[in-house]
């Protein structure tokens, strides 16, 4: 399965870029696990990791938005709340043993595609602010 992360998604804040990369890699693992019918235990393990890491990432990213006084900081926070709701729904569908093919479609559309679009539309607005605040080389 192709990897969702590409260097074009980099923001310019190394920790944020690494977190984005790791989150997308875990979502890729979740999608692959659903498509190849991995055990419920394996799927739940990936979801547990995603759940915890999403919380840490969103907190860090929201802090970056505030530190750089990014004009979309509020939109970013609201978008994060929407993502958490979608992730919660997917976890619930898996708990209820919903058809993995249907859940895989939700993961693709509501997690992976959403996350990539979020990075491109909202998070990328941090990039010029980061560039403007880099110290000049001497």
The radius of gyration computed from the CA coordinates of the chain, to the nearest angstrom, equals: 16
What predicted TM-score, i.e. pTM, was given to this entire model? 0.91
pLDDT level of residue 135 (50, 70, 90 thresholds): low
pLDDT score, position 2: 81
In a domain, 138, yes or no: no
Q: Is 125 inside any structural domain?
A: yes
pLDDT of residue 96: 92
Asked if residue 70 belongs to a domain, the reply is yes
| Residue 135 to residues 44, 69, 130, Cα–Cα distance (Å) | 44, 18, 10
Residue 93 lies in a domain: yes
Mean residue pLDDT across the chain: 93
Non-local CB neighbours of 96 within 8 Å, separated by 6+ positions: none
Contact 35, 55 (CB under 8 A): no
pLDDT at 83: 97
Instruction: Give yes or no for residue 138 having a pLDDT over 80.
Output: no
Assign 128 a pLDDT band (cuts: 50, 70, 90).
Answer: very high
The Cβ of residue 74 has, within 10 Å, a number of other Cβ atoms equal to 11
* pLDDT at residue 15 in the model: 94
Task: For residue 2, tell me if it sits in a domain.
Answer: no
Q: Strand ranges (DSSP E) for the chain?
A: none
Mean pLDDT of 62-83: 96
Residue 124 lies in a domain: yes
CATH at residue 110: 1.20.120.50
Is residue 5 in some structural domain?
A: no
SS3 category, 137: coil
Decide if pLDDT at 26 tops 90: yes
How many structural domains compose the chain? 1
Q: Is the pLDDT of residue 56 over 90?
A: yes
Q: What is the extent of the structural domain holding 48?
A: 19-130
């Amino acid at each position: 399965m192709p990897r969702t992360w590409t260097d074009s998604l980099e923001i310019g804040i190394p920790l944020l870029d690494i977190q984005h990369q790791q989150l997308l890699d875990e979502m890729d693992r979740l999608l692959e696990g659903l498509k190849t019918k991995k055990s419920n235990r394996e799927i739940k393990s990936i979801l547990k990791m995603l759940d915890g890491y999403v919380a840490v990432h969103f907190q860090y990213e929201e802090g970056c938005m505030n530190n750089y006084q990014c004009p979309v900081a509020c939109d970013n926070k609201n978008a994060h709340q929407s993502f958490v709701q979608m992730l919660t729904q997917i976890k619930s569908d898996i708990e209820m043993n919903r058809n993995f093919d249907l859940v895989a479609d939700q993961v693709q559309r509501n997690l992976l595609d959403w996350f990539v679009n979020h990075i491109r539309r909202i998070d990328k607005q941090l990039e010029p602010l980061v560039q403007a605040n880099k110290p000049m080389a001497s």
